[in-house]
Amino acid sequence: MNPLPSRRHFLKASTLAAASLPFIPGLSLAAEPKRKLGFALCGLGNLSTNQIAPALQKTEYCKLAGIITGTPEKAKRWQAKYDLPDQCVYNYGTMAKLADNPDIDVVYVVTPNGLHADHTIAAAKAGKHVLCEKPMEVSQEKCQQMIDACKAAGKQLAIGYRLHFEPNHLECIRLVREKVLGSLKSVEAGFGFHIGDPNQWRLKKELSGGGPMMDVGIYALQAMRYLSGEEPVSVSATATTTDTVKFRGIEESLTWQMTFPGGIQTSGSTTYGLGGVNRFTANTTHGWLTLDPAYGYHGISGMRSDGKAIQLADMDQFAAEMDDFAQCILNNRPTRVPGEEGLRDMKIITAIYESVRTGKVVNLA
């Protein structure tokens, strides 16, 4: 049991105390503090350390309330840095004990892709909402198990699609929907980088589920889907690998094409072989709009064919994503990035890999 009094009990007690005060003219009670949901980070690697934990400090509705890690030295460092007591520290084998900690509302799963289902299901069974990093998992079956586990627990599941909260992406969606530059005809999108360390989990298929398509190509795929507002009906893809020692069982680079029901065509590329590919262009009947760079944590900007810039204020995408999820939970409304959205991407990525394997167009309808 967590010996600390829970925030819920404290808030309930202070609300009751305030309600019992007599009315005194001129005395205004301070507004009830915003309820902050407790987030436990599961997996304390690069993303948790450099983006998510700092972003949590900037949120309005969230706070760091726990950590789940397999490395005791890391736990010590995080405890010192974020002032976390021992009872907020878990390892992957003790996640069931999260059930006893009412100060943790949400588990944010930030482990390698092929462990997302294990950690999501453990968190849901402990009665916690789950925010899970992209890609949701490495197969449709695993994604479905995650959705089922959260449903069975009556908890919300969101996927860490941070760009759904990024103003420049939202502006591009608005421009396309309102046909400001005409009707959307095609999208070209690509995201890739040069991968270093040959021993990292991203290059191990059982943990990654695949190569750059799973890791960063998914951003280009997402852009195609949210710009068009449609689901693809068919896909074809080709993969190439020049370094067969480093890239064993996963692609080094991949290109794919998709057709959408209204006739929109899209063309995507992703790679671990070279840096600097980070953009999309949406072509319309009367022009185009582009973001370049499109998918980074900061500095996203672009242009429109009518000469106007697309350059809305930079913000912390992770803070926005977590605050939105917290508000969904607090107000009992659905997230715009539910598990079903992650499953839809996984269905398309599975078809992309099938097309690579068979050399054929794969129908998705």
- Distances from the Cα of 207 to the Cα of 142, 144, 162, 210, 248, angstroms: 13, 18, 22, 8, 13
Among 281, 233, 276, 292, CA closest to 258: 233
Shortest Å distance, C-beta 253 to ligand NAD: 18
Give the closest residue to 241 by CA, choosing from 281, 201, 205, 189.
Answer: 205
- If the CB atoms of residues 47 and 282 are measured against ligand NAD, the closer one turns out to be 47
Choose one: 109-117, 182-190, 222-230, 344-352; the region binding ligand NAD (CB under 6 A): 109-117
* Listed ranges 41-49, 283-291, 303-311, 338-346: which one lies at the site for ligand NAD (CB under 6 A): 41-49
Size of interface with ligand NAD, in residues (CB under 6 A): 18
Interaction of residue 128 with ligand NAD, rule CB under 6 A: no
Interaction of residue 278 with ligand NAD, rule CB under 6 A: no
Q: Which two tokens stand for residue 243?
A: 């370094």
Nearest distance in Å: CB 32, ligand NAD = 33
- Min. distance of Cβ 69 from ligand NAD in angstroms? 7
| Nearer of residues 114 and 260 to ligand NAD, judged by Cβ | 114
Site for ligand NAD (CB under 6 A): which residue of 56, 115, 320, 348? Answer: 115
Within residues 144-203, the interface with ligand NAD by CB under 6 A covers: 160, 162, 201
Q: Which is nearer to ligand NAD, 181 or 189 (CB)?
A: 189
Shortest separation between residue 161's beta carbon and ligand NAD, angstroms: 8
110 binds ligand NAD (CB under 6 A): yes
Q: Supply the residues annotated as catalytic.
A: 134, 219
Of 115 and 175, the one with the shorter C-beta distance to ligand NAD is: 115
Of 168, 153, 179, 82, nearest in space to 339 by CA: 153
Nearer to ligand NAD, 112 or 212 (CB): 112
Site for ligand NAD in 62-81 (CB under 6 A): 70
Residues that bind ligand NAD (CB under 6 A): 43-47, 70, 110-113, 115, 133-134, 160, 162, 201, 207, 215
